[in-house]
Structure 1
Amino acid sequence: MLVARRTNDRLRQRSGSVRGSGSRHRIAQARGPARRGPLAALVARWKRIAFAADGTGLHPLLPAWNDPPGECCGNWTADGRYFVFQSTRNGQTQIWVILERGGLLHKTRQEPVQLTTGPLNFYSPIPSVDGKKLFVVGSQPRGELARFDRETRQFVPYLSGISAEDVSFSRDGAWVAYVTYPEGTLWRSKVDGSERLQLTFPPARVLLPRWSPDGKQIAFASAAPGQPWTIELMAADGGNPSSVVPAERNVGDVGWSADGKTLVFGSVTWEDARTIAIHVYDLRTQQVSTLPGSEGLFSPRWSPDGRYIAAATADSQRLMLFDFETRKWVELAKLPVGYPGWSRDGALMYFDNLSTSDPAVLRVRISDRKIEQAASLKSVRRAGGAFAAWSGLASDDSPLVLRDTGTQEIYALDWQAR
C-alpha cells in the first residue's frame, strides 16, 4: 500500500503505481467513504493524486480534467516516461496516456491523449516491459433486467430481459420508462412492450426518469458531453425536452409532488460538500427554493401521499425523513443507503444496502422504523450501470436489478511509445 504524508484520515487509496525509478508514486484517491446511489450517490469522488516516494509533494494529478472524476488503475511504462490509466466519461471507459518530462516535482506535462475508443470499454492497462504492448481488459457491456420473484426467491428476466436500468412506472402501472444500458437513452412503452418510443438521442445521456402523476410528462436528469447534469421535462409522447433549472452546476434525482405541481431534486456528491442540499421547483412560478434543513442531503424521494420526502446523507450512511406537517427531519435508518424508493402505498421505503459481503435490498417501515430484507443480492452478478449498480422497484414493489450479461476478455494492444 502506498502512503503519503497526510494526516487527513479521509484519504483512501483505491489503486496505485510506482514509477520505474521508485522516485514517484501515483494513486487513485477517494475523498470520504465510497458512495453509491442515484447519480451522485453511486459516484465515488475518485481523483488521481501524485507524490514523491518520501511522501512529500502531494498534489492532484489532473485537477478539473473530468467532471465527475473517473480515473483509475494507472501504471508507468518501464522507462518511466509514460503513465497510462483508464478514464470514464460520457458512459464509456477508455485508456489514456500522459507523457512527462523534467524533474521529479517540476514536470512539463502534456495533456492526456486517448489511446482506445469504442465499442468496447477498456480497463486496467499494464504496459509490457519492452514498451510495445498494452495489456488491457476489454468489456462489451450488456445487461438483463430482472425482477425478484417472491415465490421462488430468485431474480427472473423482466420486460423480456431488456438491457435497461433506471426503470420507472406510471402511477396506473400501465406505462414504463427506462434508460438503455449502456447507451444511456430514454425510452417509454406500455408494460407489455407495445407502443415503444425512443425519447432522447445521443450524445445526451439520461438518468433516473420519473413519470408525472397524470402520466403526461417525464422528468429526468440529462447531460451532453462536457456539460453539467441538469433537470429536464418531456412529454411522454415525445418532443423537445425543456430544462427546468439553469445548467450552472450538476443536479439530479428528480421527483414529483403528489399533485404534480412541484419537482424535487438534489445536488450531486462530487460537487463541493457545502453546496449539497435538496431543492424544490414550483412549476407554476418557476421558482427554486431549498428545503429547510436539507444541507448535506441528496437523493430525495417524495412519498406518494406528498407528506414526506426521504433523502440520504452525503456519505450514504443514513436515511433521513422530512415531514411536511412538522417541518422537521428525523432519522429513518442508520446504515448504508443506495437508490431509495417508496412502496406504492407509501408505507415502506426500499433501498440497496451497498454491502459487498451480504448485498441486499432492504426496506424500512415508516410507522415503526422496522428494517427487514426484501431480497438478497448475494448470487446476482450486477451490471455496473451508468455510474454503478442500479436497483429499483416494479409496479408491484418487487425489487428490480440489472444483471450483468456482458463479456470480458484480456487484450494485448500494439503500442509504440515515442
Structure 2
Amino acid sequence: MNDALAALYPQHLATLRERTDTALARGGFEHLVVPAGRPITKFLDDLDYPFVVNPHFKHWLPLLDAPGSWLVYTPGEKPRLVFLQPRDYWHVVPEAPQGYWVDHFDIVVVRKPADAIAELPSPARSAIIGDRDCGFDQVCANNPPAVIDHLHYHRAYKTPYELELMREASRRGTRGHRAAEHAFREGASELGIHQAYLAAVDQLDAELPYASIVGLNEHGAVLHYTNFDRHAPAESRSFLIDAGAGASGYASDITRTYAGRDAGEFQALIDAVDAAQQSFVARVRPGQSYPDLHVHAHHALAGVLRDHGFIRMSPESAVESGVSSAFFPHGLGHGIGLQVHDVGGFQAAETGGTIAKPEGHPYLRLTRQLEAGMVVTIEPGIYFIDMLLAELKDKPFAGDIDWARVDAFRQYGGIRIEDDVVCREGEPENMTRDAFALL
C-alpha cells in the first residue's frame, strides 16, 4: 500500500498548497501555522487524556503521534515540519519522521516545546489554526474565518490519496465487523464483542475514530449506546454495531444490524431497511441535494413501516405528521474523512454562509449539494424508542399505528445500516460494501 500512497501523495500535497495559497490571500496572511496540539491534562491530576492530533495537521502529513510539533507553510516555499523529539525517559519518544512523505518537507528537530517558537514565523502575519491547548501564550491560534471557511469547504473534496486511505480504513473496519458478528453468534457480551472488534482491527479504543456502539437487544434503540454490558443476556435477540477504524488519520464509519435465532420477522425488517439503504446509496451523484435525499429517505422508510404493518397511513402522511421521525429520528448521514463527522457540512460557499436544515429535521449533519469527490455516509434506521413512541400515543393519528406490533418489536431495539460512499461522475463508489466483498 505504501507504494500506492507514495505515488498519490505529491498530487495531494499540491492540492493542499493550492487551496492554502488562495485561503491565505483571502485572509491577508503570509503563512499557515498548524500546531499538532498538546495532550490535555485531567482535572486535579498529573495524567493526560489520550492525545488527539489537530485534523489540519494530519491533513498535510500522516503523523498522528507528534504532540508539540508544528507545520509551517509559506506560499512558494517547501512546507516545514518543526518536530518535537524530547529527551524523555518517562515516555516513549516519537521516532524520527520517515516514510514516503518526508522528502517533501524541510524538517527541523527540537528537544523542548519552547524551542519550537523560534522556528515559527511572526504570529502577526500567520493564520494559526488550532484550539486553545495548541501551543503557547506567544503563539495562540487565531483561526481566521476567511482562511478556515475556504479550507473547510474544500476539505469535502477528497484527493485520490485521501480516498486510498479511506478505503484502507474501510477494510480494517469491515474486518472488525466480521469478528464482532462472529462473537455475537457465539453468545458473547457487549464488552466481549467489542474486544473481538478491537483485536480484529488491531487498534486501541483511543485510536478509533469514534467510540464504538455495541448494542444487544433493546440497547439498539439507544442511538449512541456505549455502555458495554459485561455479562451476556440470557438471549441475544438482536445486535447493532456502529464502529469504524482509522488509517493514517482517516476514518471509516460502518453500521450493521443482525438478528438472532428465531427472529424471522425482525430479519425481514432488516432486509427491507438494507434494500432501502442501497437505493439511497445509488442516488449519491453530482447535483443531488443531500437534504432532499434525507427527506426522500423518510418517505421510503415510512413505506417500509407501512408494508411491515407498523402504521396504517400513507408515507406522505407519516412524514408530514412526524410519525416517520419517531421511528427514524436522526439524519441520513454526514461528511466523513479526517474526522468522522467532517467539517463544512453546512457551508453555502467557500467564503462561508450556512445552508439551513430542512424544517422538522434538526439532526441532519449535511445540507450541501453533492459533488464529485465528496464522501458521505448513508445510514438510515428504524428504531423502537420508548420515549418517542410514547409521544405519539397522545396524537390524533395514534389509531393509525399498530401498537401491538410495535410493542412486539421493542425487544429488538432498532436497525441501522451505514456505508461510506464516494460521490463520483456516474456510479457511486461504496467503500464499505467493496471492503466487505474483499472478505
Is TM > 0.5 for Structure 1 vs Structure 2? Answer: no
**TM-score, with normalisation over the residues of structure 1?**
0.26
Higher strand proportion: 1
Higher relative CO (CA 8 A, sep ≥ 6), structure 1 or 2? Answer: 2
